[in-house]
Amino acid sequence: MRPAEVHRVTVAQAVDRYIDMVRAKTATGALSPGTAEVYTRDVHTFARLAGGERVLDDLSGEDVDDVLLRFALKPDGRRGGRPPGGEEAGARQSGASQARFRRSVSAFFRYATVSGWVQLDPMAATTVVPRQRGGLRPERRALTREQAEGLLGTAQSLASAVPDGRRRADQRTELRDALIVLLLATVGPRVSELTRADLDHFYVNAGVRYWRIFGKGGATRDVPLPREVARVLDAYLAERRARTVETGALLLSWRGRRLARGDVQAVIDRVLARVDPQHRRGVTPHGLRHTMATHLLAAATDMDAVRRVLGHADLSTLGRYRDDLPGELEAAMRAHPLLGAPAESPDPG
């Protein structure tokens, strides 16, 4: 028999009430806007997959397992269902997205238990764990050197392109798109850090342009920009000044609003569509963060410097951002530091 205090609310009703709570916590500063956006998006997805008209307390662990697996197998909506190049693996949810979705659903059910919407938290009875779902993740996230150079070269060409006279000046996005790809691939910010960037977060010190990145937990880091990226940034800022926009946000839609996290993937895909098909592979914003870390570490860049650029407190975290590169071990052994140059043969004469 059900206890009297359990409220028979539907999934859709519970999600609406949960989102009201998330918004209230965001307004008081208890939750960051980025976290609130993720929770809101994920519980809406959960309601669609579970069935909004069902009673929340009727869902079993088996029902939640079904939702988790359906989420894992559904196309990634941020990418239009299929990345450039038609890679079927990339069209599914990554292992990281699946783990994030599970965390969001767990938080939702914890709140539902406290609120009296469910008798027992069904997450305790689920059997699908991130370890089992990890096989659906693409084998590698980082682009190869050729793929990364193709993407960056295309972005640089886009930044230097002659403006299309058929479009209004305030609707042109070439410089902005180029800047987004260059910042993601060379500095490796989280997508939330990129979209939160404001104009006054960039400054010049001793002739070097820096980006003060506001990361997780209120932590900040000052990262110097490569010269080519700084050049594109300056061109973009000059274009921005020509428009009368009453916002301090760095990245804007052509309507003049701050760019949303979900818009960044569309920008990457638009630039990727211009890359030579031989060097094109679909990639997410987080995949570009992996690409930056992988290639800096492969070039023997100081690990602590890479850690500071990425904004991590612990060196051990770098292992998650390090992918193997083709031919890397062979190149390392050819340049073995203990062997040096081969000794010259003595002159027989």
Residue 119 pLDDT > 50? yes
Residue 182 pLDDT > 90? yes
* Catalytic residue selected from 216, 258, 279, 322: 216
Give the distance, in angstroms, between the CA of residue 117 and the centroid of all CA atoms in the same chain: 33
**Residue 322: its pLDDT value, please?**
67
* Catalytic residue selected from 78, 289, 295, 307: 289
Q: Are residues 117 and 32 in the same domain?
A: yes
Per residue in 266-323, pLDDT (tens digit) is 999 999 999 999 888 888 888 899 899 888 888 777 888 888 898 887 776 677 666 6
Do 54 and 64 meet the contact criterion of CB atoms below 8 Å apart? Answer: no
Say how many domains are in the chain: 2
Q: What is the mean pLDDT of residues 204-220?
A: 90
Residue of higher predicted confidence among 319 and 43 = 43
247 assigned to some structural domain: yes
The dihedral built from the CA positions of residue 327, 273, 133 and 107, taken in this order, carries a sign that is positive
31 assigned to some structural domain: yes
Average pLDDT, the chain: 81
265 assigned to some structural domain: yes
* Catalytic residue selected from 100, 172, 286, 322: 286
Q: Are residues 193 and 118 in the same domain?
A: no
**Residue 315: its pLDDT value, please?**
74
337 assigned to some structural domain: no
254 assigned to some structural domain: yes
Q: List the domain range (segments joined by +) for residue 29.
A: 11-136
Q: Are residues 105 and 230 in the same domain?
A: no
**Residue 179: its pLDDT value, please?**
96
**Residues contacting 120, CB < 8 A, separation 6+:** 113
Domain end among 87, 102, 136: 136
Q: Are residues 117 and 164 in the same domain?
A: no
**Residue 204: its pLDDT value, please?**
95
Q: How confident is the model at residue 95 (pLDDT cuts 50, 70, 90)?
A: confident
**Residue 242: its pLDDT value, please?**
73
The residue to which tokens 């990554």 are assigned? 94
4 assigned to some structural domain: no
Q: Are residues 225 and 282 in the same domain?
A: yes
Task: Based on the residue annotation, tell me whether 295 is a catalytic residue of this protein.
Answer: no
For 217, the token pair is 């937990």
Task: Based on the residue annotation, tell me whether 312 is a catalytic residue of this protein.
Answer: yes
Residue 168 pLDDT > 70? no
Per residue in 66-81, pLDDT (tens digit) is 899 888 887 655 544 4
**Residue 256: its pLDDT value, please?**
80
Q: Are residues 25 and 116 in the same domain?
A: yes
Task: Based on the residue annotation, tell me whether 321 is a catalytic residue of this protein.
Answer: yes
Q: Are residues 246 and 159 in the same domain?
A: yes
Per residue in 219-247, pLDDT (tens digit) is 899 999 999 999 999 999 988 877 766 78
Task: Based on the residue annotation, tell me whether 216 is a catalytic residue of this protein.
Answer: yes
Neighbouring C-beta atoms of residue 280, cutoff 10 Å: 20
Task: Based on the residue annotation, tell me whether 286 is a catalytic residue of this protein.
Answer: yes
Q: How confident is the model at residue 211 (pLDDT cuts 50, 70, 90)?
A: very high
345 assigned to some structural domain: no
Q: Are residues 173 and 194 in the same domain?
A: yes
Q: How confident is the model at residue 132 (pLDDT cuts 50, 70, 90)?
A: very low
Q: Are residues 81 and 225 in the same domain?
A: no
Q: Are residues 26 and 73 in the same domain?
A: yes
Q: Given its phi and psi angles, is residue 210 left (phi above 0), alpha (psi -120 to 50 degrees) or beta?
A: beta
Domain end among 136, 155, 176: 136
Q: How confident is the model at residue 339 (pLDDT cuts 50, 70, 90)?
A: confident
